[in-house]
Amino acid sequence: MKQITYAGTSFVTGTDIADSLLQLVAALGGSAATAAVRVPALGVDNTVTTIDLVIGPSSEMIASEVQVDTDELIDAIAVVDLDNQTHLLDRPRAAAPTSTDFLTSGWNEPALDDLDDAL
């Protein structure tokens, strides 16, 4: 299990969940995106609860291993959801062409005289 500290508060969650959350935070650090995520966590009496977080490029999160008197918190759906959000950030995005792209692509802008002749 790992204890996550974020925005002045801490909570305990499963190791795989914490690792996936940290990977998402790291991926957001290289983007301008934010994400709202819900992760399972242990409540005060070791019952499973959920924590809602808004994380973004400047999020600072710390995780440390902790020993608790309960079984490892496992939630494969939460891990897959966090991993999917991370992978979406890693995918390359198409960019609109710029004027420099046209100059280096071999495309020649018609001369004004050619336009006059066409009219």
- From the DSSP assignment, how many helices (H) and strands (E) are in the chain? 4, 5
pLDDT digit string, tens, across residues 18-72: 999 999 999 998 888 899 999 999 998 999 999 999 999 999 999 999 999 999 9
Exposure letters 28-65 (e unless 16+ CB within 10 A, then b):
beeeeeebebebbbbeeeeeeeebebebeeebebebee
The residue extents of the domains of the chain are 2-108
pLDDT of 94 > 80? The answer is no
Residue 111 or residue 77, greater confidence: 77
5 three-state secondary structure: strand
CA 25 to chain CA centroid, Å, is 6
pLDDT value of residue 12? 97
